[in-house]
A and B are shown apart, each in its own frame.
Chain A
């Protein structure tokens, strides 16, 4: 896993040095690379939560619930990066960091939704109930992801669309950099998920040991 980590760092630095400044936006294009990949990976993370929640409800194996919870935390972190980088772009391009644009708003709703899910989970003391009802909530919360993703289709937004039906609307070097950033962030997600899972399940084992001793 450490190897993956190193690869990630290499790929990330590629985006900063390798890709040339774009015609209109010059250095600002760099923000684009820190924005798109975290956004899409956060959607995937919440998708993982959905899948693991369903599997937990079906099978009852707590392992899936630990993965589900870990994925929520990491997904939320990536959504934060998405929002912040989006705000930096907006400030640079249009003058104000927040415009209540549908894409911005639905992504903020997404952030709040999964933050609420985390708070909800921590408010349930019994571990089994936490997993059971946390999984149910994890399933119900997913439409927020769908809303955020399709917001550009539904509403008129200021949000630029570079991945349209006809293909990538950008230069070759940028396309490659985008691909690298996707791989890098994707790998970063898997790495973080794995680490969080290890830490969380160790914590669970510790709790279990403490409680059975008493």
Chain B
């Protein structure tokens, strides 16, 4: 019997190895992110961007929106592929705790999305002419990591929930959106504050660090909640 986290890492490694060879999902996610960026550039001509608070303010939000939507279509196969090929049964029947399957998939989703971000963030920054790394680049990177982990946690759970549904592909966004939005809002606020250096919508007295703590709390809550109920998804 393998310990829970150990098993999770093995599962993540297996998925990453498969993806390195297959490359399909990662490439389609990268292209999708690029297309989304392009679509936004049509919607936001430079004059409008100026009115809305400058490139930094828009760009920060834009990055998260693009990541969010790329996740909406990139996280769907995380459990669906296992379910359709039948291999999910192999994971369910292995002597590992149910939550380790979930956590392994979250790690994999995180790695996948991080690779997309490493590519798309510089591209968006160049296309829209701003930088999100402002004054405290470490804090921005930390937010990126936590935010991506948060979206991966939600995306993996949503993917698992689509398994019993009749119309799996169409139902995924409906499960993903409600659960991801709370995190998304926090992420956009934090990133925008850090990029522009000004407090836009937050109440006076709330600093960035407080928001960051809220984001961390959200991450912990989503992961704990999902890992807790996951055994009911693997053995109904």
A–B direct contact (CB < 8 Å): yes
B207 adjacent to chain A (CB < 8 Å)? no
A125 adjacent to chain B (CB < 8 Å)? yes
Query: Assuming the A-B contacts A57-B232, A136-B233, are A156 and B166 also in contact, with contact meaning beta carbons closer than 8 angstroms in the complex?
Result: no
B45 adjacent to chain A (CB < 8 Å)? no
**Are A132's CB and B232's CB within 8 A?**
yes
Size category of the binding interface on chain A:
20 to 34
User: DSSP majority for the B interface?
Assistant: helix
Report the nearest A residue to B170, measured CB to CB. Answer: A123
Stretch at the interface among A31-39, A91-99, A114-122: A114-122
Beyond the given pairs A109-B178, A144-B179, A156-B203, 8 more chain A to chain B contacts, judged by CB atoms under 8 angstroms and listed by A's residue number, are: A57-B232, A113-B181, A132-B233, A139-B225, A141-B179, A143-B222, A143-B225, A147-B185
| Cα A153 to Cα B164 with chains together (Å) | 38
Using a Cβ–Cβ cut-off of 8 Å, how many residues does chain B contribute to the interface with A? 31
**Are A137's CB and B175's CB within 8 A?**
yes
Given the complex, which residues of A lie within 8 Å of B185, measured CB to CB? 106, 147
CB distance from B60 to the nearest CB of A (A): 17
| Cα A106 to Cα B161 with chains together (Å) | 23
Q: Number of residue pairs across A and B with beta carbons under 8 Å?
A: 90
Contact with A along B209-224 (1 / 0, CB 8 A): 0000010001001100
**Are A140's CB and B167's CB within 8 A?**
no
| Cα A174 to Cα B175 with chains together (Å) | 41
Report the nearest A residue to B232, measured CB to CB. Answer: A57
Query: Assuming the A-B contacts A109-B178, A116-B178, are A128 and B229 also in contact, with contact meaning beta carbons closer than 8 angstroms in the complex?
Result: no
B177 adjacent to chain A (CB < 8 Å)? yes
User: Which residues of B come within 8 Å of A, CB atoms?
Assistant: 157, 161, 163-167, 171, 174-175, 177-179, 181-182, 185, 201-204, 206, 214, 218, 221-222, 225-226, 229, 232-233, 236
A198 adjacent to chain B (CB < 8 Å)? no
| Cα A98 to Cα B115 with chains together (Å) | 38
Given the complex, which residues of B lie within 8 Å of A130, measured CB to CB? 164
CB distance from B74 to the nearest CB of A (A): 19
Report the nearest A residue to B200, measured CB to CB. Answer: A156
**Are B201's CB and A137's CB within 8 A?**
no
**Are B164's CB and A113's CB within 8 A?**
no
